[in-house]
């Protein structure tokens, strides 16, 4: 099957490469150790030259920062440490001037407990905003309404002595869940959505959509293992299959709290709100294909998270992922691939093997840029930033990491040194350290002598920084730039269908991207092994013209009867004379 859709018929978000900015860690413009809009504006030229098309901004709203901005206390404001609303407007204008779109993070499930809505809601049982949140009586004198867990551990219910009831929180107790069954909540939130759309933002990444509704009858879950035990098996035990099983059990444990059918009606409403504005988009933090709706009535994009759930991107893994993922999409739905974000290990650390990390980082990028679908990158991956495992609990900023530390010391009885080591692998601080701009004090993120909000990864001094990589044509950064610019000029890589080739090959992934409408067919070969190969392809044309390679190639045109690929080579050629 070949695509009859030309790249020219696609919407901007189908063609775009998105780049996630984590505001706290991207660029510190005022020298206080925390990223801000001034810094972001100063780095827009960098992003333009890098060749990305759109930015996803993690939350920039006022927040007590219990969950790094995902606890919002004002949906139409800007966190003072990041700047003012005028700074935001300038950022948006400057981004747009460079043809970079901007989408915001929208946290619908919960607010901060410091949001005025919640402050009012908890003040008395008959406050007009009481039912903006999920309040319930306990079961007994000391018992919460049921046995549900919070996703971050512990009970999902917090007792509030002021009114003698419990409120529900899918995440931290500082993040009370909104009651989306109350139409007033919808109205207030849609107003906030319109506020940003009116300012010209291009869309939203929707946080934690699966958790927006919970079962109204509050049935107890019937899981046998505790969440702590499952978390341990899912995140700290070494075995991948065991981890996958534990994740399944976690899903079961949360079955009354996640992906309830009611979410779909809500997504349709939100889609209608957004569709009243030209050319805006929604991407959901979920892997559930169901959130595409019938293909054009819920979300524009849903992340292909299953792709990244491994520590080894093998050809077999990718093929299997594409086989199921692409087959499951409803007609018209557009895929969306990513390998890392602010909640996961960094791409360089996650998919490296300790020996060929630099080569594998190139393969990882090539994969998301050549598979069918919109790619999302995470700031810092373009220079090969790695996880930083903090060794001092006082440096942890992520509540999830701090809780893991407590759990490990209490449940496993480990001493502080060992507990920190384990907790550091879970703490999301590991992938949130400041961007490394230069081989300079504080990696050029903040001025010398300033204490940055999270420590800087010392590997900035070993070449993991922007300035030095800009000076080195062979750097990972230049590889990102070359590939991003190549993708833009290559319609088949954007609009084309995906056809796997050589499906038994263990060492390399080969596939075609074909766009009949654009009269282009690209052969992509990602050699994920340290062995060279000479490959034979019977594709109806004898040759391919080189479009891109990670290696120096002898010829501009190759015979497809014996295409040589070097170890870890990324090869893209246009099939035909
Ligand atoms: C998903 C976000 O990506 C994560 O960082 C956050 O902690 C939770 N949602 C809760 O908002």
Please tell me the distance from the alpha carbon of residue 224 to that of residue 351, in angstroms, as a whole number. 33
- Going by alpha carbons, the residue nearest to atom 6 of ligand 1 is 70
Please tell me the distance from the alpha carbon of residue 233 to that of residue 45, in angstroms, as a whole number. 44
**187 and 144 share one domain:** no
In this prediction, residue 314 carries a pLDDT of 98
**465 and 336 share one domain:** yes
285 Cα–ligand 1 center, Å: 9
Residue 175 maps to a domain: no
**Residue to mutate (ligand 1; options 60, 169, 207, 209; most atoms within 8 A of CB):** 207
Q: Is the pTM of this model over 0.85?
A: yes
Residue 89 maps to a domain: yes
> Which residues lie across from 375 on neighbouring strands?
337
Catalytic residue chosen out of the listed positions 36, 228, 285, 298: 285
| Predicted confidence band of residue 364 (pLDDT cuts 50, 70, 90) | very high
**348 and 286 share one domain:** yes
CATH of the domain at 122: 3.90.400.10
Q: 163 lies in which domain range?
A: 116-168
Residue spans of alpha helices (H) in 489-569: 491-495
CB neighbourhood size of 560 (10 A): 18
**7 and 73 share one domain:** yes
Residue 404 maps to a domain: no
Residue 243 maps to a domain: no
Sheet of 570-575, strands arranged across: 497-501, 508-515, 520-527, 570-575, 543-549, 557-559
In this prediction, residue 195 carries a pLDDT of 98
Residue located via tokens 């978000």: 13
**193 and 101 share one domain:** yes
Residue 352 maps to a domain: yes
Residue 418 is a catalytic residue? no
Contact status, residue 528 vs residue 35, Cβ threshold 8 Å: no
pLDDT digits (tens, 9 = 90+) for 98-131: 999 999 999 999 999 999 999 999 999 999 999 9
Q: Mind giving me the DSSP string for 56-77?
A: EEPP-S----TTTTSS-S-TTS
In this prediction, residue 1 carries a pLDDT of 43
Residue 560 maps to a domain: yes
Residue spans of alpha helices (H) in 395-546: 399-411, 416-426, 466-470, 476-488, 491-495
Q: What total of structural domains would you count in the chain?
A: 3
- Going by alpha carbons, the residue nearest to atom 9 of ligand 1 is 208
pLDDT digits (tens, 9 = 90+) for 373-421: 999 999 999 999 999 999 999 999 999 999 999 988 988 888 999 999 9
Supply 523's token pair: 């052969």
What is the radius of gyration, based on Cα positions, of the chain? 24
Please tell me the distance from the alpha carbon of residue 466 to that of residue 174, in angstroms, as a whole number. 37
Residue located via tokens 């069954």: 181
**513 and 434 share one domain:** no
Residues with CB under 6 A from ligand 1: 67, 70, 107, 171, 207-208, 285, 342-343
**450 and 556 share one domain:** no
Burial class (CB in 10 A: 0-12, 13-18, 19+), 506: exposed
Q: Is the dihedral of CA 281, 38, 487, 287 positive or negative?
A: negative
Instruction: Count the residues in the chain.
Output: 577
What does the H/E/C string look like for 154-189? CECEEEECCCCEEEECCCCCCCCEECCCCHHHHHHH
pLDDT digits (tens, 9 = 90+) for 222-272: 998 999 889 888 877 768 788 888 988 998 999 999 999 999 999 999 999
Inform me whether the pLDDT recorded for 57 exceeds 50.
yes
Supply 265's token pair: 């009606």
pLDDT digits (tens, 9 = 90+) for 411-426: 888 899 999 999 999 9
**325 and 448 share one domain:** yes
242 Cα–ligand 1 center, Å: 24
Q: Is the dihedral of CA 330, 333, 335, 341 positive or negative?
A: negative
- Going by alpha carbons, the residue nearest to atom 2 of ligand 1 is 207
**Please, what's the b/e burial string for 12-45 (b: 16 or more CB within 10 A of its CB; e: otherwise)?**
bbbbbbbbbbbbbbbbbbbeebbbbbbbbbebbe
Contact status, residue 128 vs residue 116, Cβ threshold 8 Å: no
**371 and 453 share one domain:** yes
Residue 174 maps to a domain: no
**33 and 161 share one domain:** no
354 Cα–ligand 1 center, Å: 29
Among 83-87, 222-226, 474-478, whose mean pLDDT is lowest?
222-226
> Which residues lie across from 575 on neighbouring strands?
544
CATH of the domain at 562: 2.60.40.1180
Residue 401 maps to a domain: no
Sheet of 54-57, strands arranged across: 301-302, 281-284, 203-207, 101-107, 54-57, 18-21, 374-378, 336-338
Contact status, residue 492 vs residue 514, Cβ threshold 8 Å: yes
- Final residue belonging to a domain, choices 479, 511, 539: 479
CATH of the domain at 290: 3.20.20.80
**451 and 331 share one domain:** yes
Residue 49 is a catalytic residue? no
Supply 32's token pair: 């206080």
**377 and 514 share one domain:** no
Give CB contacts under 8 A, 24+ apart, made by 437-444.
437/27, 437/465, 437/466, 437/467, 438/465, 438/466, 438/467, 438/468, 439/463, 439/465, 439/467, 439/468, 440/467
């Amino acid at each position: 099957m070949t695509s009859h859709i030309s790249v020219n018929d696609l919407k901007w978000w189908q063609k775009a490469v998105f780049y996630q900015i984590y505001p706290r860690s991207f660029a510190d413009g005022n020298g206080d150790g925390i990223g801000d809009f001034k810094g972001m504006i100063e780095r827009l030229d960098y992003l333009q030259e890098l060749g990305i098309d759109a930015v996803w901004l993690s939350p920039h709203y006022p927040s007590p920062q219990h969950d790094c901005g995902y606890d919002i206390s004002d949906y139409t404001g800007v966190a003072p440490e990041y700047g003012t609303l005028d700074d935001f407007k300038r950022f948006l204008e400057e981004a747009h001037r460079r043809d970079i779109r901007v989408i915001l993070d929208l946290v619908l499930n919960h607010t901060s407990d410091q949001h005025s809505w919640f402050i009012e809601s908890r003040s008395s049982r008959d406050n007009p905003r009481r039912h903006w949140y999920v309040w319930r009586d306990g079961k007994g004198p000391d018992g919460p309404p049921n046995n549900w867990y919070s996703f971050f551990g512990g009970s999902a219910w917090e007792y509030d002595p002021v009114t003698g009831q419990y409120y529900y929180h899918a995440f931290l107790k500082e993040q009370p869940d909104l009651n989306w069954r109350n139409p007033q909540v919808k109205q207030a939130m849609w107003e906030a959505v319109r506020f940003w759309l009116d300012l010209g933002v291009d869309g939203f990444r929707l946080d934690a959509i699966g958790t927006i509704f919970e079962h109204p009858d509050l049935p107890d879950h019937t899981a046998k293992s505790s969440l702590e035990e499952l978390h341990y098996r899912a995140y700290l035990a070494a075995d991948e299959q065991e981890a996958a099983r534990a994740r399944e059990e976690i899903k079961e444990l949360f079955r009354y709290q996640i992906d309830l059918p009611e979410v779909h009606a809500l997504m349709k409403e939100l889609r209608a709100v957004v569709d009243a504005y030209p050319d805006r988009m929604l991407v959901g933090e979920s892997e559930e294909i169901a959130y595409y709706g019938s293909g054009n009535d819920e979300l524009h994009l849903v992340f292909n998270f299953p792709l990244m759930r491994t520590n080894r991107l093998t050809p077999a893994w990718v093929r299997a992922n594409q086989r199921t993922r692409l087959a499951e999409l409803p007609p018209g739905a557009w895929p969306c691939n990513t390998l890392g974000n602010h909640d996961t290990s960094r791409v360089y650390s996650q998919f490296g093997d300790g020996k060929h990390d630099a080569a594998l980082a190139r393969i990882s990028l090539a994969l998301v840029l050549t598979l069918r679908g919109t790619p999302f990158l995470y700031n810092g991956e373009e220079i090969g930033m790695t996880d930083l495992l903090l060794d001092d609990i006082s440096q942890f900023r992520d509540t999830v990491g701090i809780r893991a530390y407590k759990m490990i010391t209490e449940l496993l009885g480990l001493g502080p040194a060992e507990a920190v080591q384990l907790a550091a692998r879970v703490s999301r601080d590991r992938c949130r350290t400041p961007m490394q701009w230069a081989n300079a004090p504080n990696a050029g993120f903040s001025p010398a002598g300033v204490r940055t909000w999270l420590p800087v990864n010392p590997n900035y001094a070993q070449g993991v920084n922007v300035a030095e990589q800009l000076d080195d044509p062979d750097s990972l950064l230049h590889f990102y730039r070359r590939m991003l610019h190549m993708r833009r000029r290559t319609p088949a890589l954007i609009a084309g269908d995906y056809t796997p080739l050589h499906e038994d090959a263990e060492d390399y992934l080969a596939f075609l991207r074909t766009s009949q409408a654009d009269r282009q067919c690209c052969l992509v070969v990602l050699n994920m092994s340290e062995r060279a190969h000479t490959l034979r392809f019977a594709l109806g044309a004898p040759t391919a013209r080189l479009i891109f390679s990670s290696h120096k190639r002898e010829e501009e045109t190759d015979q497809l009867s014996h295409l040589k690929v070097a170890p870890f080579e990324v090869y893209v050629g246009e099939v035909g004379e």
